[in-house]
A and B are shown apart, each in its own frame.
Chain A
Amino acid sequence: QQPVQSPQAVILREGEDAVINCSSSKALYSVHWYRQKHGEAPVFLMILLKGGEQKGHDKISASFNEKKQQSSLYLTASQLSYSGTYFCGTEIIGRGSTLGRLYFGRGTQLTVWP
């Protein structure tokens, strides 16, 4: 039930773009994206709901293809502050007790160099 994230790690120069993918084997209600800096709490980036929507703010956006049970996070013109580990959390469609449970991928470590 844990989603699979790819790639495991990305190294970029400032200004370059990156795409992080999240794939689930289960049908999903939603996909949540978080960024975590070392030793800190995950920080919410955005949530994508069932309906195949795309969202974004500033230079970070994401899409959700519910038919393929996949989501992608797009970071454009990356900045030094984008460095961290990006996690997707998936909310699986199932019996009632699964609601609210987020299954997290293992994370994608993003490093942005000046």
Chain B
Amino acid sequence: DSGVTQTPKHLITATGQRVTLRCSPRSGDLSVYWYQQSLDQGLQFLIQYYNGEERAKGNILERFSAQQFPDLHSELNLSSLELGDSALYFCASSVGPSGNQETQYFGPGTRLLVL
């Protein structure tokens, strides 16, 4: 158990819908990272937040957005869902601001299936 929690574990929805994935980092960690894992793309970095502020952006679609709240939990919002958005979404956390040379601990993931 990494100490990172994610809800829900599974999500089944239809195309065009909007969903919210939630992540709570390990106690004491200020950075949260979101990753998408699919069979064809592998593990892809989406976005990072540190202490409530966006820190780095990766291959995140405009239909997706995220935020980190004052209690440090984070939410990833996926809208206008397409079949290709079906994937495992992982959240990871680390202690510091940059994540530079720091260990990232992964949560159990949310499996999203878009029908």
- Interface of B with A (CB < 8 Å)? 2, 31, 33, 42-45, 48, 55-58, 90, 94, 98-109
Contact = CB atoms under 8 A, between A and B. Distances in A.
In the A-B complex, the 8 residue pairs with the smallest Cβ-Cβ separation, listed nearest first, are A100-B99, A104-B43, A99-B98, A41-B106, A30-B101, A99-B100, A42-B106, A106-B42
Contact of A91 (B58, B101, B105, B108): B101
Nearest to A31: B101
Interface residues of A, number: 28
Contacts of B43: 42, 87, 89, 104, 107
Interface of A: 2, 29-30, 32, 34, 40-44, 47, 49-50, 87, 89, 91, 96-107
Contact of A41 (B44, B48, B101, B107): B107
A89 B35 CA distance: 12
Nearest to B31: A100
A2 B41 CA distance: 11
Contacts of A107: 42-43
Give the one of B44, B90, B100 with max A CB within 10 A. Answer: B100
Given A41-B90, A91-B100, A106-B42, A100 B105 contact: no
B88 to A, nearest CB: 8
A84 to B, nearest CB: 14
Give the one of A34, A49, A102 with max B CB within 10 A. Answer: A102
A104 B109 CA distance: 17
Contacts of B100: 29-30, 91, 99-100
A47 B48 contact: no
Nearest to A98: B56
B27 to A, nearest CB: 17
Nearest to A47: B103
Contacts of A41: 2, 90, 106-109
B98 A100 contact: yes
A50 B28 CA distance: 26
Nearest to B108: A41
Given A29-B101, A30-B101, A32-B103, A100 B94 contact: yes
Contacts of A104: 42-45
